[in-house]
A = this chain, B = another copy of it.
Amino acid sequence: MGDVLARLRFVGDLSDGNWTRMAPAARLLRTHVLGRPYVIPERDFLPGQEFDIRFEIHAPKNGSEAYNNGVPDEKFTATIAKDGHKEQSIAEFFKQSEPALEKWTFSWFEDLFAQDAKTPSVVNVASKAYRRVALYEPGDYTVTLNYYNGKKTTAKWTVRPLATKKKAKNVIFFIGDGMTTNMITAARLLAHKTVNGRYQTLLSLDEFPVLGHQMTHSIDSYITDSANSASALYTGHKSSVNALGVYADSSADPLDDPKVETIVELLVRIWGSAWGAVSTAFMADATPTALTAHSRLRSRYAAVVDQVLNGVSNYTWTNHGGPDAYFGGGAEQFIAGSGSPGGKDFYAEFAKKGYSVSWNKTALQAAPNDKKALGIFCKSNLPVWLDRNIFPDNIKTLKNDPSGADSAALDLPGFKDMTLKAVDILHKRGDKKGFFLMAEAASIDKQMHALDYDRALGDLLEMDDTIRATIEKLKALNILDETLIVVSADHGHGFDVFGSSDTKYAAAQHDDRGKRNAIGVYQNSGLSQYTQPKEGVSYGTGANFPLNWDPRYVIAAGLGANPDHRETFGVGKKPRTPASVGANGEVYVNPTDRPEGFVVNGTLPTNEAQGVHSLTDVPVYARGPCQETFGGTYNNIDVFYKIANCLGLGQPKNVTSGAGGGCVSKPKPNKPRA
């Protein structure tokens, strides 16, 4: 019975665009005893962190786990007890009235054979949700679910130690989406020169004093996505693939799942600090929205963008007040129409709440630092650094103007422009209350999905250059010493460099095997040619980028997992689509992508057109107050607790309006930042 549960797929209305859906059921059914209560058996909380609790009783009607004729126990009860204290009903303990019983049905496939045979298993559910509670006293708690006349499931919840003292005034959290140590190594090779095996210059990351590794797996899968890993980093709670700020439940509504309070919600509630998000992705994407979103489905873009501005509206919940700076792509959720919340002009909604709205770099730089600021610079993701700086023809033909006009967005800020402007605004607006900024280099991930290593590494170098410039900026503002900078990733891709390829020799060969022989491994890899000046080539991109993106000898690299595609290893003058999808959904080599390359048959399911995420732990770099707590190996949720402890967010009583206790920096009451 146990084994098949790893492979469940959900059938229902949860279809999620590009993502192959699997049931929340998979996790539910895997963490239970017979009778299927949905109690998360282990979780940690920050003292005072607000959250919802949902219990579910499952009764499968058919399939290998059919039980009780498909009738779930509606009379279940639940209790909680701090260790050494008496057991109380959930309602009594949290001083709430008993919530109404909810009932629904969902179905799933037990395995791929069941899916091929179209024979889903159907599960009836009885459930109750207790909303917006918190645990204040550190220690261990036992939650017990009683059901089916005497069956019991217990869960251990741990409330971590109090952390009332604010040790860092500001936190800047850089996330290289999908970034691994392997990619950082490759980016260094491309942009920095060695003499006798010694780098003459280094990445900004190389100069961070403290290094750690974090484990990225989710509750339901050892391979995570950016939604649930971002939520783990921002809330201290792991969840399921595609879920943002909630523990995914099995109900049909993706906006009723049990929520957990995020770092920016806590920070605004307790200290009244300013906060912002910058991303090179569309701004409805998972990594920025996980700061404020509470939905099982990251793909509900309009809903999560509404939560960016207005917070949770269907339940009483912490008001994060809206970001002080929010910069990136994704005009689709802001232009009035089918993509925007309620079909509204969402630029106007932000403006109504006092935001400056910028559509280009010129406007961004002119935006006042004392006002909240929205900057949406294009539709979809921001064009990558390589196209903006080396192959600008690729951006001239786009129809991505953020106004909705049928033209190309050309006056584009880079990641550095957006990040530095956000720091200026947050520093001004946060003032003595400090700030939190999340800045995401999103296309490291997006271009690794496309097997476009050069575009991914270009954006990694852009992030590194931005980190360097941010440190300089903080120095100039005289706040470097009071600012914790953390740089990490949310998951990996199985990328590595394994040699070099002689593009001239490869082009002169006439078959796949001949072209592969242009690859040199070990000593025949030679040295990086990207750092050699080339006559007539000058990009003006500064010291920390390659001098030549298109040398004869290029890095030969690959992923452990890929769709069918062709490979040349040289820089793609155009953005890459390695595989194309046939009429039947089957994916094959894209005949127009690198037609001069050799064929690499895929190692992925034949309906995957891109590379996928990987298992690897990802690095964590830290400098500033509390840096010493980031060494060694830990879980992604621990990144949240480390940052939250440094910000003094673990409070012994309910704190609202910036009245946090125990603060050494004497915060002022939390007045809304107009």
Contact = CB atoms under 8 A, between A and B. Distances in A.
Nearest to A22: B523
B26 A519 contact: no
Interface in A530-577: 532, 551-553, 555-561, 567
A68 interface: no
B604 A601 contact: no
Contact of A612 (B208, B218, B499): B499
Contacts of A607: 517
A185 B586 CA distance: 32
A516 interface: yes
Interface stretch (A128-136, A234-242, A328-336): A234-242
Contacts of A222: 189, 194, 497, 500, 525-528
A215 interface: yes
Given A6-B553, A213-B211, A494-B558, A601 B603 contact: no
A27 B429 CA distance: 55
A277 interface: no
Interface stretch (A40-48, A345-353, A656-664): A40-48
B498 A631 contact: no
Given A26-B526, A525-B223, A196 B41 contact: yes
A112 interface: yes
Given A513-B606, A560-B494, A605-B521, A185 B221 contact: no
B516 A603 contact: yes
A150 interface: no
Contacts of A513: 586, 606
Contacts of A637: 197
A9 interface: yes
A101 interface: no
Contacts of A195: 31, 41-42
Given A522-B19, A525-B223, A605-B519, A208 B553 contact: no
A440 interface: no
Interface in A500-519: 500, 502, 505, 508, 512-513, 516-519
Centre residue among A225, A523, A558, A615 by max chain B CB count within 10 A: A523
Centre residue among A202, A218, A508, A525 by max chain B CB count within 10 A: A525
Given A41-B195, A184-B617, A20 B112 contact: no
B522 A20 contact: yes
Contacts of A217: 189, 194, 197
A185 B215 contact: yes
B505 A113 contact: yes
Contact of A3 (B26, B41, B551): B551
Interface residues of A, number: 125
A509 to B, nearest CB: 9
A524 B22 contact: yes
A177 to B, nearest CB: 15
Contact of A185 (B2, B519, B617): B617
Contact of A613 (B180, B521, B527, B606): B521
Nearest to A188: B215
Nearest to A206: B633
The 4 closest A-B CB pairs, nearest first, are A494-B496, A6-B526, A558-B560, A197-B238
Nearest to A197: B238
Nearest to A158: B198
Contacts of A219: 196-197
Contact of A218 (B197, B602, B616): B197
A517 B560 contact: no
A206 B557 CA distance: 29
Centre residue among A5, A207, A516, A608 by max chain B CB count within 10 A: A516
Centre residue among A517, A555, A567 by max chain B CB count within 10 A: A517
Contacts of A21: 523
A451 B56 CA distance: 44
Contact of A221 (B30, B527, B567, B616): B527
B552 A556 contact: no
Contacts of A209: 631-632
B3 A532 contact: yes
Contacts of A43: 196
Interface string A186-207: 1011000011111100110111
Contacts of A146: none
A496 B42 contact: no
Given A7-B500, A211-B212, A223-B497, 15 more contacts: A4-B552, A5-B526, A6-B553, A7-B520, A42-B195, A42-B198, A189-B222, A197-B232, A197-B238, A211-B632, A222-B500, A223-B522, A496-B614, A498-B604, A556-B603
Centre residue among A197, A205, A496, A631 by max chain B CB count within 10 A: A197
Given A215-B185, A560-B495, A614-B496, A9 B519 contact: no
A31 B194 CA distance: 11
Given A41-B195, A633-B208, A567 B603 contact: yes
A210 interface: yes
A394 interface: no
Interface string A1-39: 011111111000000000111100010001100000000
A203 B634 CA distance: 11
A181 interface: yes
A223 B499 CA distance: 7
A571 B608 CA distance: 25
A503 to B, nearest CB: 10
A652 interface: no
Given A211-B212, A516-B602, A631-B209, A241 B522 contact: yes
